[in-house]
Amino acid sequence: MSRKSAKRNTLIANVSGQLGRDLSTWTVLFHAAVAERLGLGPTDYMALGLIEQRGSLTAGELAAITGLTTGAVTGLIDRLEHAGHLQRTKDVHDRRKVVLVVLPSHARTAAFDGVFASLGQAMTELCTRYSDVELAVISDFMTACTDMMRQETLKLRAVSPKAKD
**Domain range list for the chain:** 12-104
Which of 73, 84, 78 is closest to 47 using CA atoms? 73
At 17-47, the pLDDT tens digits run 999 999 999 999 999 998 998 889 999 999 9
The Cα-based distances of 6 to 18, 29, 57, 151 in angstroms read 17, 33, 47, 29
pLDDT at 164: 46
pLDDT at 151: 93
CATH class of domain segment(s) 12-104: mainly alpha
What's the mean per-residue pLDDT of the chain? 88
